[in-house]
Amino acid sequence: MREFAALLDLPVNQVIAELMKNGIMASLNERLDFDTSAIIAGDLGYNVIEKEDGEEIDTTTEEKLKAILEEGKACSTARPPVVVVMGHVDHGKTKVLDTIRKTNVVEAESGGITQHIGAYQAKKKNCIMTFIDTPGHEAFTAMRSRGARVADIAILIVAADDGVKPQTVEALRIIQNSGLPFIVAINKIDKEDANIDKVKTELAQYNITPEEWGGKTIMVPISAKSGKNIDDLLDAILLTAEENKDKIVADATRLAAGTVIESHVDKGEGNVATLLIQTGTLKIGDPLSINGIFYGKIRQMKDYNGKVIEKATPSMPVKVIGLKLCPKVGDLAEIAKSTKDLKKVKQYKAEKMDKSKMIAKPKDKEDMKLFNVVIKADVLGSLEAIIESLEKIESEYIRVNVVSKGLGNITENDVLMAEASDAILIGFNVTAPHNISQVAQEKNIQIYSFTIIYKLIEMIKEKMEESLGEEIVKKDLGKLEVLAIFKTEKKAMIVGGKVTEGVIEFNPSKVETKINVIRNNEYITDGVLEQLQAGKQDVTIVERGNECGIRFAGNPVIETGDILEFYTEEKKKRVL
């Protein structure tokens, strides 16, 4: 509390009073979490920006993993290839894996679109292959990039009836930047409008030429639905793995190290993470270290089928249970020789607070409007993707402000946070227990639940536009120099003049034409155009250089020589 007040340069009593207003009783020496601090700071007139660790961590992690893999190179032996499957939304990536594994993964995904990263293994000719399924939706760019970084081979799925799409191109760029050997699988060839040659021609525009056209890229036409040519695809993977066998190796004898490819809070199992073991062998009881922090000993492990296992070897995806904290997707996980030098989770959390996760500065009065949201998701990858997508919503009027975020089911604290910050409460693949729903109803807080990310983003955009209301758009028409005064009434005048700029338009059924009276470059009054005549005939438009007569409704003070400025004003709904 003291540090927080000092950061804001305010008396502690004032901060405590503001907390009490929000129903929070805190003592002088009590620690405040970031979300609470952010709301209170906002109420006290400060903008709050959470310090991000930045890209340096990713770079350091990648370099450290490379160093670990290099250490055991002398003792390395062959390991199963890791294959990342990428492509545009709904081009059948998960269905391809479903056919390979003969399991039913697609039905578990909302709308047939992968919402998480999944890792699985399959066998062909006694050779094991590890597959990583990455979401195709644009929200998951970061997750696709991570998938490519841990893979040995990529499969680019392109639908034969749909061709090359935006996420196809983006996936191709990620694959090429990662330097991965890749195979193109042209899916849905059993559809009536399938056109394999069209897909090949479109890919050729990106310098991806099939072998049969004299290029170097293996392209396999397949049908995930019927299973046609799936064996050919697996043969192509094994051939590519054989060609790159010198790189697909690891030292299984050393302590394990790998990458976190998924992380979430499970109601029955607590904090769990899916690791892809990249070197060494992971065993029950091993002490897990991530970024120098002791995350706990491995209490239990499960393979991709949910079967409990005792050890995990290189290229194996494994779900680990018994962690004290949820790691970030993309984190390097390694087994420590000793836990003596590792930070404990409590110490790590305390240090984060001591360093202060915020930078506070007085608010700019002209800052754009904030649209506050509280988000809870089932897994970290989805939470990251949602927040990343929300940050990309661009508008000169409004931006999304994530007041609070977290994993797991919606709690009473989430409801209270939404109420205190006037935020909307969103749950992704999580539920709100009945008692929590009742609390939300009592406090008039609606809980929005989603299972598909792009629908969540669409709803947020709609709500943001609703909150913007309307704006008045002014359209300048033209100017008229007053040459004669024909009639002066109590609240109107009839005058004549010449149009010197633009045009004068009169269409009262569509929009009202307004007039500003200018004399010696100074504003005198304003009024409304009630009638427009040219050659003693009513008209709807008079162009520059022509003379006309008008009926002016307003304060009758117009004089000869005045300049009349004509314009319209329309109310338009603001859009993002």
Q: Is it the case that residue 52 has pLDDT exceeding 70? A: no
Under the banding of pLDDT at 50, 70 and 90, the label for residue 354 is very low
- Top-ranked range on mean pLDDT: pick from 123-137, 146-160, 347-361, 529-543: 529-543
Q: Is the pLDDT of residue 340 over 90?
A: no
Q: Name every residue whose Cβ is closer than 8 Å to that of residue 141 and which is 6 or more positions away in sequence.
A: 170, 388
Q: β-pairing, 470-488 with 563-573?
A: antiparallel
> Does the pLDDT value for residue 260 go beyond 60?
yes
Range of the domain at 309: 250-354
Q: Where among 204, 229, 247 does a domain terminate?
A: 247
Q: Tell me, yes or no, whether 442 lies in a domain.
A: no
User: Residues 6 or more apart from 219 whose CB is under 8 A from it?
Assistant: 183, 184, 185, 186, 200, 203, 210, 211, 212
167/272 same-domain check: no
Is 7 in the same domain as 103?
Answer: no
The pTM of the full predicted model, rounded to 2 decimals, is 0.57
Q: What percent of the chain has a predicted confidence (pLDDT) above 90?
A: 40
Instruction: Give the CATH number of the domain where residue 136 resides.
Output: 3.40.50.300
Residues 321-328, mean pLDDT to the nearest whole number: 84
* CA atoms of 214 and 196, how far apart (whole Å): 17
| 193 and 306 inside one domain | no
Q: What is the DSSP letter of 297?
A: E
> What per-residue confidence (pLDDT) applies to 345?
55
The reply to whether 131 and 177 lie within a common domain is yes
Quick one: pLDDT at residue 82? 92
- Flag whether 463 is in a domain: no
Residue 548 sits in a domain of what CATH number?
2.40.30.10
pLDDT of residue 210: 93
- For residue 544, is it within any domain? yes
Go through the chain and tell me how many residues it has.
576
Q: Where are the alpha helices (DSSP H) in 72-111?
A: 93-101
Statement to judge: residues 165 and 187 lie in one domain? yes
Number of domains in the chain: 4
The residue among 179 and 374 whose pLDDT is bigger is 374
- Evaluate whether 112 touches 188 at the Cβ level (below 8 Å): no
Q: How buried is 249 (Cβ within 10 angstroms: 0-12 exposed, 13-18 middle, 19+ buried)? A: middle
Most confident of 26-40, 126-140, 198-212: 198-212
Of 316, 337, 363, which marks where a domain is finished?
363
Q: Is 230 found in the same domain as 86? A: yes
Query: Are both 241 and 99 inside the same structural domain?
Result: yes
Please say whether the beta carbons of 379 and 263 come within 8 A.
Answer: yes
Same-domain pairing of 332 and 481:
no
Percent over 70 (pLDDT), the chain: 80
Check residue 140 and give its pLDDT: 43
Give the pLDDT score at 138: 45
Sequence-distant (≥ 6) Cβ neighbours of residue 17 within 8 angstroms:
none
Whether residue 413 is contained in a domain is answered as: no
With tokens 């706990």, the residue in question is: 296
Q: For residue 65, give the nearest of 329, 258, 249, 248 by alpha carbon.
A: 258
Is residue 242 domain-shared with residue 255, that is, in the same domain? Answer: no
Same domain, 162 and 288: no
Give a yes or no: residue 335 inside a domain: yes
Backbone angles phi, psi at 391, to 5 degrees: -65, -20
Select from 307, 329, 354 the last residue of a domain.
354
Do 92 and 190 have their domain in common?
Answer: yes
Residue 485 lies in a domain: yes
Res. 410: pLDDT tops 50: yes
Token pair in block for residue 289: 């270290």
Q: What is the pLDDT of residues 461-483, one digit of tens each?
A: 989 888 887 778 899 999 999 99
In 307-433 the beta strands, taken as DSSP E runs, fall at 308-309, 311-312, 317-323, 332-335, 358-362, 369-377, 398-407, 424-428
SS3 497: strand
Classify residue 393: in a domain, yes or no.
no
Residue 372 lies in a domain: no
Q: Rounded distance, CA 378 to CA 461, Å?
A: 22
pLDDT of residue 64: 76
Pairwise CA distance, residues 519 & 482, whole Å? 11
**171 and 259 inside one domain:** no
For the stretch 166-183, pLDDT in tens is: 888 888 888 888 888 999
pLDDT-based confidence at residue 114 (cuts at 50, 70, 90): very low
